[in-house]
Amino acid sequence: MPVEPLSQQEIENRIAELPGWSADGDRLTRSYRLGSHFAATAMVVHIAQVQEELDHHSDLTLGYNTVSVSVNTHSVGGKVTELDFQLVRRVADLAPAHGAS
């Protein structure tokens, strides 16, 4: 089944249910602050595991104690799809385990 881009209204409705996440153009973005560099690195590793499970990969930026996530679907021209929201929900679910805020 092909992946289709979501409308701007669909994106706005769904992003409203995900505290801290925002729609930035054709991307879903969020930065997490963690207690240490080690915790931030561990979170990146866990996000990478989720990405492999979903076969969907986002852009991750690791700072000293921050992790920034930027998600869109390259196969549909960098637009936001349901697959992006699946990944975002999984990231949001694992963040508390890492002490992310």
Convert the pLDDT of each residue in 8-28 to its tens digit: 999 999 999 999 999 998 999
Question: How do beta strands 66-71 and 22-23 pair?
Answer: unpaired
Q: What is the pLDDT of residues 34-82, one digit of tens each?
A: 999 999 999 999 999 999 999 999 999 999 999 999 999 999 999 999 9
> What pLDDT is attached to residue 3?
87
The beta-carbon contacts of 54-63 under 8 Å, at least 24 apart in sequence, are 54/83, 54/86, 54/87, 54/90, 56/83, 56/84, 56/86, 56/87, 58/84, 58/87
* Average pLDDT along the chain: 95
Q: Give the pLDDT band of residue 1 (cuts 50, 70, 90).
A: low
Residues composing the chain? 101
Distances 58 to 20, 36, 85, 91 between C-alpha atoms, Å: 17, 22, 11, 11
